[in-house]
Amino acid sequence: MAIEHTIRSIGVARSPYKEKFAIPRQPGLVTVARGTIELDNDLHAAEMVDGLDAFSHIWVLFLFHENLEQGWKPRVKPPRLGGNKKLGVLATRSTFRPNGMGMSVLELNKISIDGDKVKLHVSGLDLLDNTPIIDVKPYIQYADALPHASSAYAMEAPVAPLEVNFSDEANTALSTEPDDAKQLIKEVLAQDPRPSYKRNKADDKVYGVKLFDFDVKWQLTSLTEVHVISIERIKDTAEPSTS
């Protein structure tokens, strides 16, 4: 018998990924991806995280909020199988799940507390900006890391196949930015964020991806190389207040 239960979010993720395209398919693949989990002010958050700073990593449970209205699928095509073979959704990490829930192991760098405002500073992020967080749990090494576990596919982390270079224009745009901004762009694009069916195929299309406050234009120039054409700061399109 199905049981209905309402789950409320306990916070929100702040992430450099402003759109779903180019988000790493698993946490930890882009090590310099840093962000925060901001816990809701009305949850006695400072008490909730008491003792959590003793752990190096945390499990973060969240909602695939941009997929919820699209519903779920009983069979999906995992990217690691080339996007051509279907498996049952429960045999995959697909975002189109019955309850739209995901989980990631993230490195916990520090916890900052300012009154009732609590932030968990994390790295290895694979979450879309503004992702609703529904739970956080400490990562327990002896129980959560099982060296003898096996899987039918994705036994090893994917090797970033592409070398990334920057045009003079792109380098100039980043010249006043922190070094990790350029490194994040390199690590994201090295993973080849194109659809799975385009892997190892020539492609002269110019792609765009939004990272931090930048619109990054890039193109595959060979089967092993990505060229970053331009990097432009995204303009704030919010209308000024008339009050």
pLDDT tens, residue by residue, 213-240: 999 999 999 989 999 999 999 876 444 4
pLDDT at 242: 41
Q: What is the pLDDT of residues 20-52, one digit of tens each?
A: 888 888 888 898 999 999 999 999 999 999 999
Distance of CA 212 to the CA centre of its chain: 12
| Mean predicted confidence (pLDDT) in 72-86 | 80
**H/E stretch holding 61:** strand 57-63
- Average pLDDT (196-205) is 84
Position 78 scores a pLDDT of 79
Which residues partner with 233 through β-bridges? 214
Q: Which of 63-67, 118-122, 189-193, 239-243 has the highest mean pLDDT?
A: 118-122
Average pLDDT, integer, range 103-111:
97
How far are the Cα atoms of 5, 64, 99, 174, 197 from residue 2, in angstroms, in the given order? Answer: 10, 22, 13, 52, 37
Residue 10's pLDDT is 97
Residue 22 has a pLDDT of 86
Report the alpha-carbon distance of residue 14 to residue 65 in Å, rounded. Answer: 14
Q: pTM for the complete prediction?
A: 0.85
Average of per-residue pLDDT values in the chain:
89
Confidence at residue 243, expressed as pLDDT on a 0 to 100 scale: 36
Q: Which residue has the higher pLDDT, 1 or 158?
A: 1
In order, the DSSP letters of 87-141 are: EEGGGS--S--TT-EEEEEEEEEEEEEETTEEEEEEES----TTPEEEEEEE--H
Per-residue tokens: 157 = 């982390």
Domains and CATH numbers, the chain: 11-144 (2.40.30.70), 163-233 (3.30.2310.20)
In the predicted structure, residue 158 carries a pLDDT above the cut 80? no
